[in-house]
Structure formats: C-alpha cells, structure tokens
Chain A
Amino acid sequence: MAIDGLIILDPAGRPIIQSSYSCYPTAYPMLHIEALNNALEKAPRGGSVDPVIYVAELSCSSACCHVEVGGMRFLATISEDADPLIAFAFLDTFIEILHDYFGTVNLATLKDNFDIVYQLLEETLDSSGHPLTTSQNALSDIVLPPTLISKLLASVSPSATGVPSGRQGGSFGLTGASGAFASPIPWRKAGVRHNHNEILFDVVEDMRAIVGKNGMTLVSNVFGKIESNAKLSGTPDLTLTFTNPSVMTDCAFHPCVRLQRWTRDNSLSFVPPEGRFILADYQYKPPQGAVISNVPIPLSLKANVDMGEFGGTFTLTLTSRSMKVMENVELELYLGEDATSAQCTLSSAGSGVGSVGSADGSWSFDSRKKMLRWEILNMRSSGSWILRGSWTSKIKAPRPAHAFQIRFEIPSFSFSSLKVDQLRLSGETYKMYKGVRMRSKGSLEWRW
C-alpha cells in the first residue's frame, strides 16, 4: 500500500522536483525516470504508453504510474504490494492542490514556487508512502499559499525566542492548524466566518455515446456531477432534497455526505467543506420500461464519405434535435497518417434564415495531427448545417478513421431534468444565498 515517492518531469523528461527518496538507493528515482522516458520514446504516437510501467532493473522491482499535466509528467513510483489506483488518486489530488495554490500548473509556476511545491510534497506524502494531509482546508494552514506568504512576510516579527507563548506562531496560522486537525470534521476547519454566506450548485451532465454505422445508438451514458462552491460560516448542516431523486443512479458522494441518509430518504445531508468541491457524481438512466433504453442524442449526423484514390470526398450534415440552443459544437475526423490537405465549403439549411458565414461555423485542417475540424459556435434548435469537401492523401488507398468525434454543450439544460426541491440549513441561524445552475455537454463517437 505504498507510494515510494513523486517525481515531476519537465517536457524534456528531466526531473524538476522530486520527493526525497531517502530510504532508497540514489539510482532508484533515476531508474524510474529512465524507464518512463524510454517507454515514451518507443511509443508510436505520444500518450499511448501504458500508464503503469514496470521497472525490473535493480534488485527491487517496482513500477511507475504517470500522468501528463501541462506538458509535464507527474510520476508516482510504487513498489511492494501497492495499489496503482491509490497512486493515481493521489496524483490527481496533488495536481488539484497545485491548481488551488497556484491557479495554473505549468513549468514556470512550479519552478517559481518550488519551495512551496516541495513543502506540499512533504506534507501530503509520508516517506513510507502514506498519503497524509490532502484536505485543502488543513493544508493551507501548514503550507502557506504564495499570495499569503508575501502578505504576511511584512507583518510577522519573530517573537522572543524560546518562550512558549502559544501565540508566537499565531500569525502563521499555526494555532489555526491545530484547530483544523483537531476539528472533528476532517474536511472542514472550525471557526470559519463570512460576511456574506452563499452556496452555489452547478449540475453538469456529460453524455458519452457511440453511434453505429446505421445511425442507431449503441451506447449512451449520461454522467452527472453536482459541483458546489460553499462560502458558509460556522458549521452549517445542510439538507438538499430533489423532486425527482430517482433519476440519479449509481451515485458516488463526497465524504461529507451522510450515506445512510441517502439510502433512507434520498436526501443529501452534509456539512460542506469550504470552497469548491464535488458533492456527488451520478449516472442518469432513463426510466425502466422505456422502449429505447438509451438517452436520446440531441443531434444527428448524416455522413456520406466517398473514398477514392489518393483522397476522398464527403458531405456531412449535422442536424440539431435539441429544444435548446447548442453551443461549441465541434466535429473531428482523423484523416489518416498520410493525409496532406483538405478543402471544404460550409452551408446551412432548414429553419429559414441561416446564411453561410462565420457565425455558422468554421472548419480547419490540422496538418500535424491530420485532423479535420468543424466548429459551430451556436446551433439553434432544429437547424441543419452542411460541410462539403474533399481531402488528399499521399497513398492510394487512404485510411481515415471510421468514426467522427463530436462534442457539444447545452447551457441551462440537463438530460435528466433533475430538479432541486429545497435546501435547508440547520445548526446555524444566518440567511444564506443559494443558487442552482444546470449545464450539459457531450462527446459522441459517430461511426460511418
């Protein structure tokens, strides 16, 4: 159950920051870095390297788990009877923490703040591989975020040496820190105060679907998330109820949610953490007994692709089936390693007024990724858009992908029509501002 340590590599594969592998031979981290770099080099196309790479060199065999963020590689080395999933969960958490501290995660910010990153590493991962404090609330007390440090530096004076005043570290949040750890609720520190109390919920539903050649939906899943942002004083105990909780199936909750209450009466009862967090994940499944068990897809694509020698022609028709306006509709087709160029014209049809123009969309061909991309920023309900074109290829029998990748967004809409009934607050007396927003998006694979 142990993560040996964490290494951050720059885009060239050189280590920037690594945890202290004090219990390991000096070559140990290097071997893992090499194993990863070798695997990346061998990979035909970037990214398709096994996420768990077994390192057999040295007498102790281990593995490295890696993810890519902002061009850098974060790799966690694990050995013994370790769980790669814990490594990945930890990497995710750590990267999330970096985001919270620095806003963005890139080479420059990490180098500028290496001392904070290093401290974070020491606080979050114990040298024998146990993740320690990863809760944002507690961490910000032990390791000061960069903005706070600069503010405090001016005001702090080192108090009389050696006198155990207890107040000495106060301005460094030290007493607060013990407060955070002493708090019976690990995700929330005691004594938070806000002048303006509010909690916002963003319900985001994400459709993932595969549509077969014949236009029939093979698979479609809708994964929902309730993202929350809480700025509430004290210890607020909230109860969130829905008018139609049954649309949420296979739920997974933030640790703050009382699971027993959900099981009993389908209400979410919780003391929220401060700031942003994901309250719940769920899956939306259409009611049992429906003729079509798949969630209907809010657009349709008619694709005529004719493959010729050294290229081909296509006519693609996208039609909105949504009652709402769809935004940022994006269609991609990989034209094959040997594709050289593409030429297209855009037009739109149906529901009258549409005219050819930039407002209706744009297309491009990425000659490096060999990707044809078609974007429609704003797609009104039941309109049709057409892309006609051709592409050329270096080889006689071109091999484009047999699937279009389509992404879209629908603001103020949810597939499940999940509806919040009410949000009750107990344990505190103040009034709070409450807000709920819906948003949907999707990524489809449309085969032809």
Chain B
Amino acid sequence: MSTQQGQDAKFFQRGKIEEFRAELQAAEAKDKKYQKRKTVLKKIVANITMGNDMSPLFHDVIQCIGTPLLEVKKMVYLFLISYGRSKPDQIHLVIPSFLQVSSSNFSRMSDHSNVLKDCNDPNPLIRALAIRTMSYIPIPVVTESLSDQLRHCLKDRDPYVRKTAAICVAKVYTADPRKAERKGFVELLRDMLIDDNATVVANAVAALSEIGDRQDGVIFKLNLTIANRLLAALGESSEWGQIYILDSLLRYVPEHHSDAEMMAERVIVQLQHANSAVVLTSIKALLYLMNYMENRRLIDYICRKMGPPLVTLLSSGPEVQYVALRNILLIIQRRPTVLKNDVKAFFCKYNDPIYVKLAKLEIMYRLAREENAREVLAELEEYASEVDVDFVRKAVRSIGRLAIKVEPAADKCIESLLKLIETKVTYVVQEAVIVTKDIFRRYPGKYEGIIPTLCENLDALDEPEAKAAMVWILGQFADRIENVDELLDDLVYNFLDEPAEVQLALLTAVVKLFIYKAQSEVTKALVHKVLKWATEDIDNPDLRDRGFMYWRMLAMNPSVAAEIVLAEKPAITTDSDRMDRGALDQLLLHTGTLGSIYHKNPETFIRNAAGRELVDSPALNANSRAVLVSLTRPQLPSTAISVQGPGPIEPTRPSLQPDEAANKTPQPILVESTRSDERDLLDVEGDDGAGGDSGDGYPDGDDDVAVVKAADPYAELGGAFGGYTTDAPQPVKGGGSRSGDLDDLLF
C-alpha cells in the first residue's frame, strides 16, 4: 500500500488538531470557492473515519455550516453526527442554522454563521440532509427544535424529503417515545401509508415497524384495506421498500380465510424477485398467511411454489446459501411438502465451505425418505471418505440416523457402516459405534450379528461418547457375547480415570452382566469391584447414587432387580428431534432473521427485541391454535395508543387492539365443520400424499401434551439443534400412536 500514493491517502495520517484549527481559521480569510475549507474538512472527516477523536474542533467546524457548498455542508453534518451528542452545551449554536427563525424572512440573515436555513432550503437534498442530521443527535434541545420542522417535512412537496422525514420520526420516537406520541408523529406517519409515492410508503412502513418492534412502542397493526394498499405499492418500490412492506404483512391478522388466501396470491408473484432478501421475506409472509387459510389445494400450491426460489438461493454466494439453508431447515419441518422431491439440490460439493456442507447435510437427512434413501445413502458414503474430520463424522452419524428414520434402508445403511468400520480410521469407527447403539435400540433382535465386528475395534475407541456407547452394547447384549466378562474387565481397569459418562455406562453394564451371569465368580468380583468404587471412591453424586441404588436392589431382591434393569426399552424414533410445532410456528414468523439462524426466538437471546406471536383470529386454523404460544409484552405504554389505518374504519374488523382480538372467541363449531369438509375432500381425491407424509409427519402426541409443551417452547430449542449429540433419537412419546389424519402439517 505504500507504493500507492493516492491523493487522499495522505489524509490518513494522524491529524493534528491545532494544525487543522489554524488551517480552518486561515481559510476564513481568503477562500476561493471554499476549496481550502473543503480540503481541511476532508482531512478532519478522514480522521473521524479512522476513529481519531476530532471533537476538540467542534466549535471551529460548525463555523463552516453556512458554507453554500454541498460538499462542505455534508462534511460538517458528518462531523455533527459523530460528535453532536457529546457536545450538548454547544449544540445550540448550530440549531439556528438548521432552522428557519422567521418564516417570512428565511432567505437572508446578517450573521454569517446562520446564512442558510437549511430546513427551508429550496434544495430538497439540503432540506432532507438537515432534518436527517438533526434526528441523529438525540439531545433534547435538538429534538425539541426539530419537532416543528419535521412536521413540515412530513408534508413536504418533495418525496425525497418526505421519505427522509418518515425515517426521522422513528429516531425522534426512540429519543422520547411518549413525547413523540403526544406530538402526533405516529398519526402523521400513519397517514403516509397512503402516500402517492411508493418509496415514501415503504419508509413509513419501515419507521412504523421500527416503532412497533420496540417493547415500549405503540402497537402497529394493519387492517385489510391498508394491507391491500401496501401490496399495491409493492410494484413501484425499491427492493428494500418491498422488504419492509412484505414484512409488515405479518402485522395483519386475517379474520377470514379468504382474506389470507387472496393476499397470499398477490405475494406469490414476489417470489420471482431477483433479490434474495425479498424472496425470503415473501416466503415468510406466505408461511404466516398459510396459518389462516383453509383451502388445502391452495396451501399445497403455495408450498410447491416456494420450493424453486429456495433452490435458486442456493446458486448464490456461500453466505446467502448459509442463511437460506438454515431457514430451509426450519421451513421443511413445518411444511414437509416444500422441497420434498428436491433432495438432490442439497448434495454437497467438495468445494463448498464447511458451514454450507454441514447445513446441507442436516437438510438431506430431513428430506430422506424411502423413495430417495438410496441416493442419499450413496452421497453420505461419499462424504464419509472426505478429508474434513468434522464433516466425515457427521456424515457417518447421518448414515446411522438414516437407518433409524427409514426402515427399508436400514440394511443398506448397516452394510455401509460395517464398511466404514473396516477402514479403521479411528474417528470413523467411533462415530459408527455411537450410531450403531441407536440402531440396536430401534431394531431389537435384527442386527446383533455385527457385535463381534464392533468388539474387534474396542481398542480404537478413545472418546467418551463412543466408549460409553460400546459399553452399553456390551452390557445390553452380555448374554450373547462370549468373552464379555474379559472385555468389561479390561474396560473397568481405568474406571476411576474415566469421564463420568463412561463410568455411568460401565456401572450399568457390569450390573447387567451380573444379572445375566450371576453364577460366574469373575462376574461377581467385577460387579463388586465397580460398585465399591462407585460408592466409595467417586465424588460424582449421580454415580454414587446409582451405585447405591444398584447395590441395594441386588442385595434385596435380585430377580426384581433383573426385571428393572433389563426391562424392555421403549422403541426409539428420530421424529421427536423435530421441533415442537407451536415453537416452529413462532420461529417461522422470524424467517430470515438472526433467530432463524440460531433457531431461537430473538427475544430469548437478544435484548430489546419485542418478539412476535401468531395472533388468534376466527381464521386461524385449529391445529395452530391448539399449540398457540402467546407472548406477553412486559412494559406496555401506560397510555396505549392504538394506531388505526387511515381511511374509513371497517366495521367488521375493528380489532386493532390486541386485547380485543384476543377476546374474540373463535367459534369452534364452524372450525370443526370446515375441518371435516377438508378431510372429505381429501378422501374423494384419494390423495395419499398426506398419508405418505405421515411417515415423517408431526408425531401426533396427545393434544394435551402438545399444549403443555407449547407453554414453554424454548425449553427444547436449545438442545434441538445444538449438535448431533443432543439430536439423538428419542423414545417414542404418547404410546407411539401416529394416526394418519392429524398428522400432516398442512394445517
């Protein structure tokens, strides 16, 4: 960089305050075309961008504010934005420059520092710049002076000024919410929702959304008329404007199925937008509206329409791919028909960055079903031979999970795991052992033939999880492994040095062994040794308690102990690693946000986020309602101001206040009847697609269970995606009954 002596690069040296001050003063005397001031200010701004403190020059710089050269003005404004806040005692010096002191005579002032009253400058750019700069300085004296000016600018004839003013309102609101409400800014903003200019509309929406997202902000809701007008403005908006508008549709609560359906049809068109953020925001709006629909065919159609644009996102750069993939993972859990046949789109390429590969891998597993299991398995085998350790491990583990998820593919998966164990690559073997344990539980009595192969690789295991899994296998099948006592005896050799996970497994395993082979002296000695260690030499309370428990059981009544220890285990499934539906519904309101990347609701990990909830209405489908998660807004403003849309108030949908909306009790009968209609429709068509889905459909536990779970949706979120360890298969809940009719997630 030293060779590139650019004209401005020299400004990057650390500035000297005094030097700049002197230069500025010199410039006042004889400054042709303001070039001197411009040069000095440029140096000063350069220093600000580098993080050097230029605030001592405050007084000198603001002298230049009257310079009628836009470039100079801009730099003074940049300076003010940086330091205005820290100079509350001097800021009043600048205010007159911003403001028009007397409206009849704004063109000329005698004082040279107040030459131009920028807020009334004939140039709209300067008017906008002036209010924008002022709104950046959250000092009461500035905000106070800004109020009137801002009100004028909100009604300025120039759309550039109006759109800038709209955003400024949000800042004024941030500075003092209650005051901004009293001054009627929120209503003014609301009126801008029907402005002629699409950009102004979009910015008004952005400002209202920002206000509405604050925990202490007014509630921003849309009624049907306004929502439709916003949609009409979509076509002329910039991509950013479209994003604001589409996102604001989530503030509209449909009262009738038809409203939601009509609106969705208008949003679908936006899926053809070139901007990835617009596409994902459209999908978010569609996912939301689908909660309020009843037309099954339309829902199906929308799901089909959402697939291709999601796949197209995968042709973008790796950063966009990553965000898209994390969102796809959420979407397909709630709407399994989306991308159902597109598993190939998620095949990993060798050159994909590791974060993309891992995200793709998880989606491949979710999309795997009987029809595509062969292809998926072939891919997973390919990945298991790659170089990246992390990726290889997850590929191996996915093979095991595939076996558990898709029964007809289990044989092939086991074959493949055995081949991998033959490679003797230690981390591959360890992963294979871990998943094999789960496969044994899922298919009892089917694959135990491979246990000898596993035992051959005992020495390769050095990670606690793999070791514990192997120990579990030894204990569980102690009656079928000939030299099991030798093997376990070897393993307990270092008992006291093992991690707790392995110690627990060993303890249980030797107890099982003892129950199987109570006659053997070797076994007796072994179990005695381990129980003694566990209860006397170990500090870990879990281990000690378990040791005591086993010991007493064995002492009091060995046959009952056998029944308990060797009791039949509930079958396991991978279905329950899916997220709880209520939580999913809620998370999907955050599609495309940080929350969707980390799979947590923002208010749980981001301070100040207001959170979003699915709002009940007569149109909300019954299944969503059953798992509804409601949020409480902790600090509602004491004087709740509800902002209604401009234009005529619709008599049927006055429920702009959330309380009212919540009080509206849905009519269960109506909902019930429509539901049965749908089922009829489905039967007539002989649509087996829904039945096919049920395989990986929502595990339909008791409704009660679902509701109870929904009360604390975050409880399970932390673990659900943390890693494959917590993502392990779980016992089937609710007696494993998965009836076909409620199962599919269409509603």
Instruction: Give A contacts to B, CB under 8 Å.
Output: 1-2, 10, 15-18, 20, 22-23, 47-52, 54, 59-63, 65-67, 78-86, 88-89, 92, 107-109, 111-115, 118-119, 122, 126-128, 130-132, 134-135, 142, 153, 156-159, 161-166, 168-169, 172, 174-175, 177-178, 181-182, 184-187, 206, 208, 210, 212-213, 218-219, 221, 223, 249-255, 258-260, 262-263, 278, 280-281, 283, 334, 336-337, 399, 401-403, 405, 445, 447
Contact = CB atoms under 8 A, between A and B. Distances in A.
Nearest to A117: B49
A251 B308 CA distance: 9
B33 to A, nearest CB: 6
A254 B274 contact: yes
B606 A168 contact: no
A57 B277 CA distance: 28
A1 B608 contact: no
Interface of B: 1, 4, 6-9, 11-12, 33-35, 42, 45-46, 48-51, 66, 68-70, 74-75, 78, 81-82, 85, 107-109, 115-116, 121-125, 132, 136, 138, 158-160, 163, 167, 170-171, 174, 197-199, 203, 206, 209-210, 213, 235-244, 247, 269-270, 272-277, 279-281, 308-309, 311-312, 315, 317-320, 322-324, 344-345, 347, 349-351, 353-355, 375, 378-379, 382, 385-387, 590, 592-595, 597-598, 602, 605-610, 612
Given A86-B243, A111-B4, A156 B308 contact: no
A111 B10 CA distance: 9
A81 B274 CA distance: 23
Given A114-B8, A130-B203, A184 B171 contact: no
A184 B195 CA distance: 12
11 contacts: A67-B319, A81-B610, A86-B240, A89-B320, A114-B11, A126-B167, A178-B124, A210-B347, A250-B309, A255-B239, A405-B351
Nearest to A183: B159
A182 B247 CA distance: 25
Contacts of A142: 125
A60 B387 contact: no
Given A15-B51, A401-B350, A128 B45 contact: no
Contacts of B311: 250, 283
B438 to A, nearest CB: 28
A85 B592 contact: yes
A109 to B, nearest CB: 8
Nearest to B11: A114
B347 A281 contact: no
Contacts of B199: 181, 186
Contacts of B243: 1, 83, 86
Given A52-B597, A85-B280, A111 B312 contact: no
A156 B69 CA distance: 10
Contacts of A115: 8, 42, 45-46, 75
Given A186-B237, A219-B347, A252 B274 contact: yes
B648 to A, nearest CB: 27
A134 B272 contact: no
A281 B312 contact: yes
A60 B608 CA distance: 9
Contact of A111 (B6, B109, B323, B353): B6
Contact of A22 (B74, B82, B270, B354): B82
Contacts of B46: 114-115
Given A2-B210, A52-B597, A255-B273, A162 B315 contact: no
A17 B49 contact: yes
A85 B320 contact: yes
Contacts of B592: 83-86
Nearest to B602: A81
Contacts of A158: 33-34, 68-69
A445 B349 contact: yes
Contact of A259 (B6, B9, B272): B272
Contact of B312 (A82, A165, A218, A283): A283
Contacts of A23: 138
Contacts of B1: 10, 107-108, 111
A307 B269 CA distance: 53
B198 A182 contact: no
B209 to A, nearest CB: 6
Contact of A283 (B121, B308, B350): B308
B597 A135 contact: no
B269 A263 contact: yes
A267 B223 CA distance: 34
A137 to B, nearest CB: 11
Contacts of B66: 161
Contact of B171 (A18, A128, A221, A250): A128
A445 B350 contact: yes
A58 to B, nearest CB: 10
Contacts of A219: 344-345, 347
Contact of B49 (A114, A164, A165): A114
B315 A223 contact: yes
Per CB-CB distance, the 7 closest pairs between chain A and chain B, nearest first, are: A112-B6, A181-B160, A108-B4, A51-B319, A250-B308, A403-B350, A164-B122
Contacts of B610: 81
Contacts of B241: 186
Contact of A67 (B85, B167, B309, B317): B317
B270 to A, nearest CB: 8
Of listed B48, B274, B279, B610, residue having the most chain A CB within 10 A: B274
A112 B320 CA distance: 30
B81 A445 contact: no
Given A111-B9, A135-B238, 11 more contacts: A2-B210, A107-B1, A118-B78, A162-B109, A164-B107, A181-B158, A186-B237, A210-B347, A210-B349, A219-B347, A402-B386
Contact of A80 (B33, B51, B608): B608
B674 to A, nearest CB: 30
A82 B594 contact: yes
A399 B121 contact: no
Contacts of A16: 49-50
Contact of B68 (A86, A161, A178, A184): A161
B115 A162 contact: yes
Nearest to B31: A158
B318 A131 contact: no
B365 to A, nearest CB: 17
A127 B347 CA distance: 40
Contact of A218 (B85, B280, B344): B344
A61 B238 contact: no
Contact of B355 (A22, A50, A186): A50
B81 A127 contact: yes
A148 B127 CA distance: 24
A59 B607 contact: yes
Contacts of B35: 153
Contacts of B48: 20
A84 B318 CA distance: 13
B309 A252 contact: yes
A168 B605 CA distance: 52
Contacts of A113: 6, 8
